[in-house]
């Protein structure tokens, strides 16, 4: 049984989190999550889909994490390692927040047509993956989405939410991305099961 930690006691020093954003209005919650992770001592690298950039800018996450933000498979940097595999190798955990129906469908089908789905595919089996879904209630409850969720859970993916409440479409129902503090606590619960990758190799 997972035991929640007090926020003041939560430390993630040495752990590396790769935060993947797909295109949902709840991207603003991911900014808060990134900030909380950094405050807890984690290293945070952010990968954004093109759709996610329409809701929040990469500059926001660069300011919060003090790191380069990755938006493309073709993005150059100081090193020229394959971007998706280098992020997967770095991560102690991959967090997909918000996770839209689209990105979950790609994950379940093994589609790698951009940086975010390719990074997730490369990380599958290499580190824990936590998914925080966010979408319209009908999209969440659709047979296609529920089939994809079931498949991903069968493969060992972790889920948190969605929660019930007011949705961006103006309705009330299940589909809200859970609050950043709850995601943070779940990340800590998962990470604390193993030492950081860097610590394990030193």
Please give the positions annotated as active site: 169
Q: Which two tokens stand for residue 133?
A: 């879904």
Specify the residue for token string 């006691």.
Answer: 9
Q: Which two tokens stand for residue 148?
A: 């994809």
**Distance set, CA 201 to CA 76, 197, 198 (Å):** 27, 7, 5
What span, in angstroms and rounded, lies between the C-alpha atoms of 103 and 157? 14
What span, in angstroms and rounded, lies between the C-alpha atoms of 49 and 54? 9
């Amino acid at each position: 049984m997972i035991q929640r930690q007090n926020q003041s006691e939560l430390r993630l020093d040495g752990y590396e989190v790769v935060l993947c954003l797909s295109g949902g209005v709840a991207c603003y919650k991911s900014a808060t999550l990134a900030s909380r992770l950094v405050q807890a001592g984690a290293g945070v690298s952010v990968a954004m889909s093109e759709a996610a950039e329409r809701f929040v800018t990469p500059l926001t996450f660069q300011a919060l994490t003090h790191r380069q933000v990755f938006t493309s498979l073709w993005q150059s940097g100081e090193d020229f390692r394959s971007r998706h595999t280098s992020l997967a190798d770095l991560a102690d955990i991959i967090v997909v927040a918000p996770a839209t129906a689209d990105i979950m469908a790609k994950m379940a089908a093994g589609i790698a047509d951009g940086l975010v789905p390719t990074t997730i595919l490369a990380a599958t089996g290499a580190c824990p993956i936590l998914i925080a879904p966010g979408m319209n209630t009908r999209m969440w409850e659709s047979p296609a989405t529920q089939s994809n969720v079931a498949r991903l859970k069968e493969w060992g993916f972790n889920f948190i939410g969605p929660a019930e409440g007011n949705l961006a479409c103006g309705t009330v129902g299940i589909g809200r991305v859970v609050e950043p503090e709850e995601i943070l606590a779940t990340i800590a619960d998962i990470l604390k099961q193993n030492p950081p990758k860097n610590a394990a190799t030193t």
